[in-house]
Amino acid sequence: MQIIVTGRHVELTQPIEQYAIKKCDHLEKFRDHVQSIELVLDKVHVDFEVEAKVEVPHHPTIVGKSSQDDLYAAIDQAVDKVERQLHDWKEKIQSHK
C-alpha cells in the first residue's frame, strides 16, 4: 500500500508527514483492497484543508475532505471520512457475494 503525502502552501515537516503516514497506516486492515493513498495538505487563508484520495480496484477513487484551523485535526477528519467510506464499500462488496 503506497502512501503519498504532499503539501501545497504548507511546509511539510517530518513530524507532520510521519503523523499523516501513521494515521493512514490505520487503514492497513483494507490493504487487500487499497492500491494507494494520497494526502494533499493545503493552507487556505487561516484554515488547513486536507484531501485524502484512496485508489481501489474496479471502483471510483474514494475521497475524503476536511477543513480545520488545526492541521492535525484536519488530517484526522479526512482519513476518518475515507475509512468510513472504505468500510461501507467493503460491506457492500461482501453483501453482494
Domains present along the chain, CATH in parentheses: 2-95 (3.30.160.100)
Per-residue pLDDT tens, the chain, 97 aa: give them. Answer: 899 999 999 999 999 999 999 999 888 888 788 889 999 999 999 999 999 999 988 888 999 999 999 999 999 999 999 999 998 888 887 776 5
**Spatial distance between the Cα atoms of 24 and 75, rounded to a whole number of angstroms:** 9
CB distance 10 to 41 below 8 Å: yes
Considering only CA atoms, give the Rg of the chain. 14
SS3 content of the chain, % helix, strand, coil (to 5): 45, 35, 25
Of 88, 78, 84, 85, the residue nearest 5 (C-alpha): 78
